[in-house]
Amino acid sequence: MADITRRLGWRHLRSTPTAHIRHHRDGKLVHDGPGLGFWFRPLTAALSEVPVEDRELAMTFRARTADFQDVSVQATVTYRIGDPALAAARLDFSVDPDTGAWRGAPLEQLGTLLTETAQQHALDVLARTPLSAALVDGVAAVRDRIAAGLGADPRLPATGIEVVAVRVMAVRPEAEVERALRTPARERIQQEADRATYERRAVAVERERAIAENELASQIELARREERLVEQRGANARREAEEDAAADQVRAQAEAARTVKLAEAEAARSVALARAEAQAAREVGEARAEAQAAWLRVHGDVDVATLHALTGTQLAENLPRIDSVTVSPDVLTGLLARLGGGARG
Q: What is the per-residue pLDDT for 115?
A: 93
Q: Is it the case that residue 20 has pLDDT exceeding 80?
A: yes
pLDDT single digits (tens) 151-160? 999 999 999 9
Q: Against a cut of 0.85, is the pTM above it?
A: no
Q: What percent of the chain stands above pLDDT 90? A: 39
- Least confident range of 21-30, 113-122, 223-232, 307-316: 307-316
CA distances from 127 to 94, 132, 148, 178, 342 (A): 40, 13, 17, 19, 200
User: Where would I find the H helices in 21-174?
Assistant: 84-90, 106-126, 131-152, 155-159
pLDDT single digits (tens) 159-179? 999 999 999 999 999 888 888
Q: Is it the case that residue 333 has pLDDT exceeding 60?
A: yes
Question: DSSP state, 26?
Answer: T
Q: What's the mean per-residue pLDDT of the chain?
A: 85
Q: CA angle, corner 259, sides to 256 and 265, nearest 5?
A: 140
pLDDT single digits (tens) 57-80? 999 999 999 989 999 999 999 999
User: 54 Cβ partners below 8 Å, 6+ apart?
Assistant: 78, 79, 80, 164
pLDDT single digits (tens) 272-287? 887 888 787 788 778 7
Q: What is the per-residue pLDDT for 112?
A: 92
Mean pLDDT, rounded, for 281-298: 75
Q: What is the per-residue pLDDT for 26?
A: 86
Q: Helices 131-152 and 106-126: crossing angle, nearest 10°?
A: 130
